[in-house]
Amino acid sequence: MVSVGTQSHNSAGKADKDQSADNIRHDWQLDEALALYNLPLLELIGQANAVHRRYHDAGRLQKNSLLSIKTGGCPEDCGYCSQSAHHDVELTREKLMNPTAVVALAAKAKKAGAERFCMGAAWRKVHDGKEFDAVLEMIRGVRALDMEACVTLGMVNEDQAKRLAEAGLTAYNHNLDTGPEYYPKIVSTHSYQDRLDTLAKIRDAGIALCTGGIIGLGESARDRVEMLMVLAAMDPHPESVPVNMLVPIEGTPLAKAEPVDSLEIVRMIATARLMMPRSMVRLSAGRSALSRETQILCLVAGANSIFYGNVLLTTPNADMAADDALLEALGVTAE
């Protein structure tokens, strides 16, 4: 039986360099990771819940608000994405929003209980100039509200990472999306190594990493755990790990992808929790297709963060009123 040691206690959520004394591992092997993923479900959830409770306050859930600050027209060809210019999707393109409007929406999200404000731009990479300056202004504005700020802008260079850090950016979202072998079947315009290079520059600049993936792209369980192995090999582990379930978009190559059994997202979250005990694990896109009870299973299995708000980037999120009822039923408090 595969199990994970959980002997020593540590304070929640903080990733630091000295993780070795705390059963934090960076050397997961494929057979071990797959064995965790394939454990009998109740055993997997039980082990993940025990690790979750040891490293985190299980009565807390982080609420993040998400906003698309620049929508559509992206030159990349990610097969799942509504915003790629390569696909024929019914989507209104929007140029970069102005910082005042963005910060006003962040203030509104804060009032609704969000602690982190995440801003996404459909760019291949950041270009220096007026637009990047405007994004830096958004970050400073969000931080001035005493909220955490996260952006996802595509690839960055070292100088841009440094400027993001100077603006006070809390975290940078840049997903690996799937395992290294399967990735080229999903995207051809950039490589897995490009993603890893951007993550390294962000981390070198002292910004927390938010990086995870999607299930439902036609990948195997092996591809899923291979992605988790790449994430868990990072030292320290990424501070947050979003787990998305594909939101199928009409007009994308993955519009008709075979839907995955919702218990696979529970397995993915539980395995992420076991392999990266201290990271925040975010139950991200796809919640509106999950029952209340499946979402609760995800939280029991170690998810401790959600996107809260009626829309994700371009697709509807779980309804806010339903989320309020869910949180009320759970009796959890916002972080």
By annotation, the residues acting in catalysis are 74, 78, 81, 118, 150, 210, 282
Cβ 117 vs Cβ 173: under 8 Å = no
Question: Going residue by residue from 206 to 245, which x/- string records binding to ligand SAM, judged by CB under 6 A?
Answer: --------x-----------------------------x-
Residue 84, binding choice from ligand SF4, ligand SAM, ligand DTB, none, Cβ under 5 to 8 Å by partner class: ligand SF4
Q: Among residues 114 and 214, whose Cβ is nearest to ligand SAM?
A: 214
DSSP 156: -
Q: Is 295 in the site for ligand SF4 (CB under 6 A)?
A: no
Question: With contact defined as beta carbons under 8 Å apart, do 313 and 271 qualify?
Answer: no
Figure out which of the listed residues 47, 62, 65, 82 binds ligand DTB, where binding follows CB under 6 A.
82
CB of 10 to ligand SAM, least distance (A): 29
Q: 295 by DSSP, 3-state: which?
A: helix
Nearest residue (CB) to ligand SF4, 84 versus 295:
84
**Which single residue is written with the structure tokens 């980037």?**
313
- Return d(Cα 317, Cα 67) in angstroms, integer: 12
**Nearest-CA neighbor of 221 among 36, 52, 46, 27?**
36
Nearer to ligand SF4, 52 or 70 (CB): 70
Residues 6+ apart with CB under 8 A from 240: 171, 208, 209, 210, 211, 212, 279, 280, 281, 282, 305
User: 3-class SS at 307?
Assistant: strand
Take residue 315 and report the two structure tokens written for it: 């697709």
Let me know the angle formed at the C-alpha of 67 by 61 and 70, rounded to the nearest 5 degrees.
155
Q: How many Å apart are CA 144 and CA 101, to the nearest integer?
A: 15
| Conformational region of residue 103, where left means phi above 0, alpha means psi within -120 to 50, and beta covers everything else | alpha
Q: Is 288 in the site for ligand DTB (CB under 6 A)?
A: no
199 binds ligand SAM, rule: CB under 6 A: no
Q: Can you tell me the distance from the alpha carbon of 253 to that of 234, in angstroms, rounded to the nearest whole number?
A: 31
With CB under 5 to 8 Å by kind, the binding choice for 201 among ligand DTB, ligand SF4, ligand SAM, none is: none
Is 84 one of the binding residues for ligand SF4 (CB under 6 A)? yes
Q: Which of 314, 318, 323, 326 binds ligand DTB (CB under 6 A)?
A: 314
Residue 154 or 238 with smaller CB distance to ligand SF4: 154
Q: 285: which 2 tokens? A: 């896109």
User: Interaction with ligand SAM in 141-160: which residues (CB under 6 A)?
Assistant: 152, 154
Decide if residue 174 touches ligand SAM (CB under 6 A).
Answer: yes
Most distant CA atoms of the chain, gap in Å:
56
What is the residue whose two structure tokens read 């958004």? Answer: 138
Binding flag, residue 318, ligand DTB (CB under 6 A): no
* Residue 152 CB, nearest approach to ligand SF4 (Å): 7
The DSSP letter of residue 238 is P
177 scored as a contact of ligand SAM (CB under 6 A)? yes
From the list 178-186, 197-205, 290-298, 307-315, the region that binds ligand DTB by CB under 6 A is 307-315
Q: Does 279 bind ligand DTB (CB under 6 A)?
A: no
Residues that bind ligand SAM (CB under 6 A): 80-81, 83, 120, 122-123, 152, 154, 174-175, 177, 214, 244, 246-247, 249, 285, 313
